[in-house]
Structure 1
């Protein structure tokens, strides 16, 4: 952490990305009955991706590791800022608390969609780790504790974790704007849905919604922050008691549909 803070090259790159992104500003275009908003955060993320060793090589592997170690610190500051919006909206949050708690059942949709796709793509026991959740830190710890991270299940959850880290924020920001532009769901419902247990993904989604509906931006931020906190608390239990058993069951069913036989017991034990 100390070495990362002393990495001046990294700080200068980040400052340049922020200045350029803010200079571009928010960009919106109409779609259907609403509009899609692209925020400076999205531009900064894209510039960060292309600055890495795989593309422009402005940042090396060590710089990427240093940047990753500082994410937690910056998100703590961001969540503290969001915390200031929760207090004034406590009555509204209490009124919506049943919905905030029950929304965790939406995680089962990940299982229902993810398992068939993973098996179809040829994944074996990796499906269990990859498709049981959104694969954030608590889920990685859960899979590591039950199966071990050096197993196929561990490889599956780590693969989704890495993809979510790289692309999740961009995906959530765009998904929030496109969904809001359709006008099907109330923006406060979308704010609650933004809290999936990832502060960065929630921030991208809430930021886009706040830009689209500035008149209720404080309520959007408060519900997004509260939802994200509750997802972090009850998400692990939902995964342990419902999502993982359901994933195991669906995996066996779809494996048999594709290969004509159930997974061997030896493969299960090795997993």
Structure 2
């Protein structure tokens, strides 16, 4: 909290981003909405190269430690929207719960592509989920973060931190403009277990549908909360075993043999069966 340079840099970036304000780009029947949050993230990335000597390693470490605090305030604000809309959210609870099975899509899409481009067991850690903090902890506990699986989950975590938020924001805007999906459904889909990604998606949707702002933020926050609660269990019981099974299948298809056995950090051996 004593890093005044960091707070000054953040203040400048926020002022510049708010000055740019929301940019709406009409495309066909719809539009792409670019929020100030997106510009702030882009500017933040641009000031981090070492040769610019603007933000150093300590600044970035300090900024990372403050993310949790700021997101707590943000989630408290979203929580005030959940209460008044709770009856409707309860009615929609089956949809909120079932949408968690959409996380399996990362396995079904990511594992085959990862093996095809030459990844080995890194693809299990990287493709079993969206690789947020709980998933990093899960892979670290099961395989160790110095393992190929650990390298995979950390790689996706870093990429998601840098590019995930602006990607979700632009994707939500595109889907709202060019698909028949309801804004509430898109709000639920934005709650992937990352507060920053959810905020980007919800912010874009509320900019496009200001008359639905209360319900959109409530559905997004509720979905994100449920993703945080049951996402780990989904990974443990379904996504991670499925990722390992698909990895063996895809590896055998590409290389004509089963992957070599692996010894985990707990000294248990995975022999890679022929299933």
Same fold (TM over 0.5): yes
2:152 to 152, 156, 159: 156
TM-score by length of 1: 0.95
Which residue number corresponds to residue 107 of structure 1? 103
Which residue number corresponds to residue 57 of structure 2? 61
Matched, 1:173 2:169: yes
Give yes or no for contact 1:34–1:183 (8 Å, CA) kept in 2.
Answer: no
Which residue number corresponds to residue 253 of structure 2? 257
Which residue number corresponds to residue 135 of structure 1? 131
Q: For residue 188 of structure 1, report the CA deviation from its aligned partner.
A: 0.5
Which residue number corresponds to residue 145 of structure 1? 141
1: CA distance, partners of 2:173 / 2:108: 24
1: CA distance, partners of 2:262 / 2:46: 43
Give yes or no for contact 1:111–1:246 (8 Å, CA) kept in 2.
Answer: yes
2: CA distance, partners of 1:180 / 1:57: 40
2: CA distance, partners of 1:95 / 1:270: 44
Runs (5+) with no aligned partner, structure 2:
none
Q: Which has the higher helix share?
A: 1
Q: For residue 58 of structure 1, report the CA deviation from its aligned partner.
A: 1.2
Q: For residue 123 of structure 1, report the CA deviation from its aligned partner.
A: 0.9
Which residue number corresponds to residue 220 of structure 1? 216
Which residue number corresponds to residue 94 of structure 1? 90
Which residue number corresponds to residue 184 of structure 2? 188
2: CA distance, partners of 1:156 / 1:61: 23
Q: For residue 146 of structure 1, report the CA deviation from its aligned partner.
A: 1.0
How many corresponding residue pairs? 267
Which runs of structure 1 show a deviation greater than 6 angstroms over 4 or more consecutive aligned residues? none
